[in-house]
Chains A and B, each alone.
Chain A
Amino acid sequence: MNGVHDMGGMDGFGKVEVEANEPTFHHSWEGRVMAMVRAMGANGGLNIDMQRFSRESIPPAVYLSSSYYKKWFLGLTSTLLDRKLVGADEFAAGHSLHKSAPLPRGTFGVKDVERIKTRGSFQRDVANPPAFKPGDKVRMKNINPPTHTRLPRYVRGHVGTIERINGSHVFPDSFAHGHGENPQWLYTVVFSAAELWGADADPTVKVSVDAFEPYLDRA
Chain B
Amino acid sequence: MATHEHDHDHDHDHGSELSEMQLRVRALETILTEKGYVDPAALDAIVETYETKIGPRNGARVVAKAWADPAFKKALLDDASKAIGTLGRVGDHLIAVENTPERHNIVVCTLCSCYPWEMLGLPPVWYKAAPYRSRAVKDPRGVLADFGVTLPKETEVRVWDSTAETRFLVLPMRPTGTEGWSEEQLAAIVTRDSMIGTGLPKVLS
Contacts and interface: CB of A to CB of B under 8 A. Distances in A.
Interface of A: 5-11, 13-19, 22, 24-29, 31-36, 38-40, 43, 45, 52, 55, 64-68, 70, 73, 76-77, 85-86, 90-91, 94-96, 100-101, 103, 107-110, 112-113, 116-123, 150-152, 154, 164, 166-167, 169-170, 172, 186, 188, 190, 193, 196-197, 202, 204-212
B125 A108 contact: no
Interface stretch (B45-53, B65-73, B170-178, B180-188): B45-53
Interface of B: 1-6, 9, 17-18, 21-22, 24-32, 34-39, 41-47, 49-51, 53-55, 89-93, 95, 110-113, 117-118, 121-122, 124-126, 128-141, 143, 146-147, 153-167, 198
19 contacts: A5-B112, A14-B131, A17-B126, A29-B21, A32-B25, A32-B26, A40-B38, A55-B112, A103-B37, A110-B42, A113-B46, A119-B117, A119-B118, A121-B92, A150-B164, A152-B110, A186-B166, A193-B138, A196-B138
A167 B25 CA distance: 38
Contact of B38 (A67, A107, A186, A202): A107
Given A24-B51, A204-B154, A43 B39 contact: no
Nearest to B54: A117
B124 A18 contact: yes
A196 B139 CA distance: 12
A151 B164 CA distance: 9
A121 B91 CA distance: 7
A73 B147 contact: no
Residue from A15, A70, A186 whose CB has the most chain B CB atoms within 10 Å: A15
Given A86-B32, A108-B42, 20 more contacts: A7-B110, A7-B130, A8-B136, A16-B126, A24-B55, A29-B9, A34-B47, A34-B122, A35-B42, A40-B38, A90-B31, A100-B36, A110-B39, A110-B41, A119-B93, A119-B167, A193-B138, A197-B138, A204-B153, A210-B161
